[in-house]
Amino acid sequence: MKRLMSGNAALAEAAILSGCTAYFGYPITPQNELTEYMAKRMADAGGVFIQSESEIAAINMVLGAAATGARAMTSSSGPGISLKQEGISYLAADELPAVIVNMVRGGPGMGNISASQSDYLQATQGGGHGDYRTIVLAPGSVQELTEVVPLAFDLADKYRSPVIILGDGMLGQMMEPVDFDNLRRPPDYEKDYVLTGAKGRPARMIRSLIFDTKLQEEHNWKLFRKFQQMEQNEVRYETYLTDDAEMIVIAYGIGARIVRGAIKRLRQENLKVGLLRPITLWPFPAKALKEMAKTVNDFFVFEMSAGQMVQDVRLALEGKGHIHFYGRPGGVIPMPVELSRIISRHYYQEHFGGKRKKR
Amino acid sequence: MKTVYARPKLLKEAHFHYCPGCGHGIINRLLMEVIEEMGLQGEAVCVAPAGCGMLLYNYFEIDVIESAHGRGSAVATGIKRVRPDTLVFSYQGDGDLAAIGTAEGFHAANRGENITVIFVNNGVYGMTGGQMAPTTLLDQVTTTTPAGRDSVLAGHPVRICEVFSMLDGTSYLERVAVNKPAAVIKTKKAITKAFRRQLDGCGFSLVEILAPCPTNWKMGPHEACVWIDEVMSKQFPLGVVKEVPCT
C-alpha cells in the first residue's frame, strides 16, 4: 500500500522496520521530521529514543548502543555531521556498526537550510581523523530512501563499520508516495564482540587506543582490507539511456533526478545524452565509468556544489575522455530546463566546435 | 594461616602503568573488589576515558569500552538504555568530565540516567604532563599556569558534586579520597553504595574521588597525601553532597 510521506518520516519508518532499536538525535533543519517521527514511533517499537544535548553526545550514544549489539542510528545535517565526525572515526576504528543520516544543507558554516550536495567530500573521504572510509549511500527519491535504509543497516553489520546515508534537504522534506511492502528486515548477524557483562565468557574490550605502532599498523591494514572488500563488492549505480549515448552525465541523489528531466528534453531534440547515477558514492563506480570511456568521450558532471564528485570522476577516467562540469552551490536547486540548456551547449560545442572529432 | 587480604580475582595479573604514589591504582583495585564482592562480573560494563585511566582495560577482568575524551557519560547512556540489566559505570578524570565532557556528564545527570560516574579528581591533566585542569586550585602551579592559577585569567576550580547537586536528575553524589587507609575504606563504601543504588534503579550516581598525583604536583607520595587533607579538601569538602531517598 502506498502512503504519502516526507523523506525524513519514510526514512525513520524504514529504519524501524529494518530493526533499528536505538535512535539518538539533536534538532537541526532540514531533518527534524526524522527525529520527531522517531520520538513518536520508537516507544511503540520497543526501542530507545533520546533527544541528546548535542550531536557529539548523540553519536557517542550510538557508539554505546552499537557496542551492546543494537542496530543504532543518528541523523543530522551539515553542521551537526561535522560534530559527529569524532564519533564516526571511533566507530570505524572500534569496528562498530551504525547508520548515520546526513540531510545535507547549503554550507559551509551555518549556510542555509536548502538542499545541497556540498558534503560529498566529507562523507566519502573519511570525514573524521585517521585512516578510514565509510560506505556512502545516496538515494534519489523517497521510495529509494526506504530501500537504502535496510541496505545500510545490513552493510553496517556485515562489515562492522559505520554507513552514511547522504540525502539532502529536498529529499528529506518533500512528500512522495511510498510503500514498504518489499522492505525486508536485514538478517541478524552473530556478534561476538558485544558488551553485556562477562557472564559465562571471558571479559571483552572495545577500544581503538593501540600504543604499539606495529599493532596499530596491523589494525589499520585490517581496516584497509575491509575497505578493499567494500570497493570490490558494494559498488552500486544506475544507468539511464547510456547505450547509444555520446555524452554521459554523472550526477547523484536529487541532482540526478533533475538531470533525468533535462535528459528527457535533450532526447526530444535528438541529443544522445545518458546518465550514470552512483548510488554508492563510496565506493565510487569507477570501473563502470572507465568502461564507458571506451566508447564515450564526453562526461558531464553536475553537482549541487562547486565541484566535489568531479574529483572522483577525474580519478576514475584516468585522463581518458573530456570532463565538463556544471555546479550550483549554496543551496540553489536548478530546474531541468536550465540543465538541459547548459548540457546542450557543451554537447554542441564538442560536436561542432572542432575541438574533437566525432567518433 | 588466615588470609586477611588478597588481590581481587577481577584485577588482571598485570603491572600498573601508573606513577609511584598515584591514586588510580587504588581506585582500580577498589572497583574490582567491589564488583567481585557484589558478584557483578556478569553484569558490569565499564566505560574507560581518555587520560591516565584509559588503560584500565589492561587491568579489569570485566567488559570495557573506551570512549572518546569526555564522552563517557554519553557512551554509558547508550549502553544502559539498550541494556538496562547491566551495571554501567564510566571512569572519568577531571579534564574528561569537568572540561571537555561537561555537556555529556551534566545532561546524563540531568536526565537521571541510571548509571554511575567514577570521577577521579587529581587537579591536573596527568597523562599529558600536568597541565591545568578545571579542578586545579587557585595559585596551584601547573605547566600551563607557571605562575600559579590566576582566577582572572583561568577561572576557578569547579566543584562538580555541588554543581550536579542542583540538578533534579541526580540521586547520589559523594566526595571521597584515597590518601589514607580510612579514606580508602570510605571510598570503597561509597562505590558499593553507588552500585547498589544503580541496581535498585535509583538513577544517576557519582563518586568523586580526590586522588594524589605526586608526579605532576612535584611532591613525594606521602607529601601528596598530606596535601589532599590540608589543602585540596578545603576546596573540595569530603562527604555526601546529595542523597535522595530511593523509592
Predicted complex ipTM: 0.97
Q: A48 to chain B nearest CA, in Å? A: 7
Residues of A in contact with B42 (CB under 8 A): 197-200
A168 and A247 co-located in one domain = no
Q: What is the DSSP letter of A46?
A: T
A249 and A345 co-located in one domain = yes
Residues of A in contact with B86 (CB under 8 A): 68, 196-197
Contact B42 A198 (CB under 8 A): yes
Closest-approach residue (CA) in chain B for A96: B65
- Taking the model in full, what pTM does it have? 0.97
pLDDT at A242: 97
Range of the domain at A188: 3-233
Contact A60 B44 (CB under 8 A): no
A54 and A186 co-located in one domain = yes
Last residue within a domain, chosen from A233, A254, A272 = A233
Domain total for chain A? 2
User: Is B117 part of a structural domain of the chain?
Assistant: yes
pLDDT at A261: 98
Residue B129 is part of a domain; what is its CATH number?
A: 3.40.50.970
Q: A266 to chain B nearest CA, in Å? A: 52
User: Is A290 part of a structural domain of the chain?
Assistant: yes
Distance CA B22, CA B17 (A): 10
Residue A77 is part of a domain; what is its CATH number?
A: 3.40.50.970
A40 and A170 co-located in one domain = yes
A140 and A73 co-located in one domain = yes
A160 and A282 co-located in one domain = no
Last residue within a domain, chosen from A183, A200, A233 = A233
User: Is B116 part of a structural domain of the chain?
Assistant: yes
* Cell representation of residue A311: 574529483
User: Is B3 part of a structural domain of the chain?
Assistant: no
Closest-approach residue (CA) in chain B for A90: B68
Note which residues in 19-58 of chain A have CB less than 8 A from chain B.
21-22, 24, 48, 50, 52-54, 56-58
pLDDT at A349: 85
Please tell me which of the candidates A62, A68, A198 has its beta carbon nearest to residue B62. A198
Residue A296 is part of a domain; what is its CATH number?
A: 3.40.50.920
User: Is B202 part of a structural domain of the chain?
Assistant: yes
The rounded average pLDDT for each run of 10 residues, N- to C-terminus, in chain A (359 residues) is 97 98 98 98 96 98 98 98 98 98 96 96 97 98 98 98 98 97 97 97 96 97 98 98 97 98 97 98 98 96 98 97 96 97 92 53
Q: A112 to chain B nearest CA, in Å? A: 26
> Which alpha helices (H) appear in A192-252, and where do they start and end?
213-233
Is it the case that residue B164 has pLDDT exceeding 80? yes
User: Is A357 part of a structural domain of the chain?
Assistant: no
Q: B31 to chain A nearest CA, in Å? A: 15
Distance CA B19, CA B27 (A): 14
Residue keyed to cell 536526565? B111
Q: Where are the beta strands (DSSP E) in chain A?
A: 3-6, 20-25, 48-51, 71-76, 98-104, 135-137, 162-168, 175-178, 205-206, 237-240, 247-250, 273-278, 280-282, 298-303, 322-327
User: Is B77 part of a structural domain of the chain?
Assistant: yes
pLDDT at A22: 98
User: Is B6 part of a structural domain of the chain?
Assistant: no
Contact A209 B71 (CB under 8 A): no
A263 and A129 co-located in one domain = no
User: Is A359 part of a structural domain of the chain?
Assistant: no
User: Is B50 part of a structural domain of the chain?
Assistant: yes
Last residue within a domain, chosen from A217, A233, A249 = A233
